[in-house]
Amino acid sequence: MIRTALAFIKKDILIMLSYRFNFVIQIVGILIVVTIIYTLGSLVDSVDIPFLKPYGGSYFGFLMIGIAFSDYAGISINSFSGNIRDGQLTGTLEIILTSPTRLFTFLFSSSLWSYIFTTFRLFLYFLVSIFVFKLDIGKINIPAAFVIFVLSMLTFIAIGIISASLVLVFKQGDSALRRIGSVSMIVSGVLFPTEYLPSLLQNISLYLPFTYTYRGLRLSILQGHSLMLLQGDIAALTGFAIVLMVISSIAFSYAVKKAKIKGSLAQY
């Protein structure tokens, strides 16, 4: 599996190098996004907003963390299903399936570079924010932030596998899940504290994993909250990770079995 993963990473790096201009555009895009975030943060910070005080009172830091880490959620929801769909459209999935490579290995390996590059983008977000716009993360609690991040990634990956399962069975089901995911992230507080939402949406946000991801990351990075202080968010994310991992495993196994019976694994 490691050899397969490395082969896919090498392939994706070669593709990226053949489109250098796109790589440059993404880097420039990060600079532009952080600049816009800083500008919005400066405007909002001129007004006293009580709901921002638990996060240090800085809307720039609040918004930057929300935008930067939302990349992982987006990659998880889109990458797995996108790779299945691309493999079906190009016919490469059929070739993969006739080799000793298992479908899950293909799915994991083909998505690995997306996570590596997203991590690179995340570091750029923080480097620009810290050294250019003076974002203060001096209080960061690294162990707490790491635990929140890992649990969130497990949850996001499970959602991505469910999305891939929908593509295998229904061919188009991932688009609905993608829209639901985008709305869910907004309701969960990627752009503003959930306390500003209507009471109904606030209640809905309690049942979404993204809510605990954003809150846990912001509190651990901006305010240095410990594992003990974040035990509620950690418990919620652990529950989501376990439940969604079980569901995704069952859904993916069912989807592969059904697609094999129908003979549609290599069709889109």
Whether the pTM exceeds 0.85: the reply is: yes
Which residues have C-beta within 8 Å of that of residue 183, sequence separation ≥ 6? none
Vertex 91, ends 88 and 93: CA angle to 5°?
60
Instruction: Supply 219's token pair.
Output: 């509190």
- Whether residue 225 contacts residue 142, with contact meaning beta carbons closer than 8 Å, is answered with no
Which residues have C-beta within 8 Å of that of residue 245, sequence separation ≥ 6? 154, 158
Other beta carbons within 10 angstroms of residue 183's beta carbon come to: 11
- Whether residue 197 contacts residue 179, with contact meaning beta carbons closer than 8 Å, is answered with no
Per-residue pLDDT of the chain (268 residues; tens, 9 = 90+): 677 777 777 777 777 777 777 778 888 888 898 999 999 888 887 677 788 888 888 899 999 999 988 888 888 778 777 777 776 676 666 666 666 667 677 777 778 888 888 889 899 999 999 999 989 999 999 999 999 999 999 999 898 888 888 877 776 555 666 677 777 878 888 888 888 888 898 999 999 999 999 999 999 999 999 999 999 999 999 999 999 999 998 988 888 787 776 665 555 5
Other beta carbons within 10 angstroms of residue 118's beta carbon come to: 17
- Summary count for the chain: helices (H), strands (E): 10, 0
Q: HSE of 122 in the Cβ direction (CA atoms, 13 Å)?
A: 16
Q: Is 133 helix (H, G, I), strand (E, B) or coil?
A: coil
What is the Cα–Cα distance from 162 to 244, expressed in whole angstroms?
Answer: 9
What is the Cα–Cα distance from 186 to 45, expressed in whole angstroms?
Answer: 20
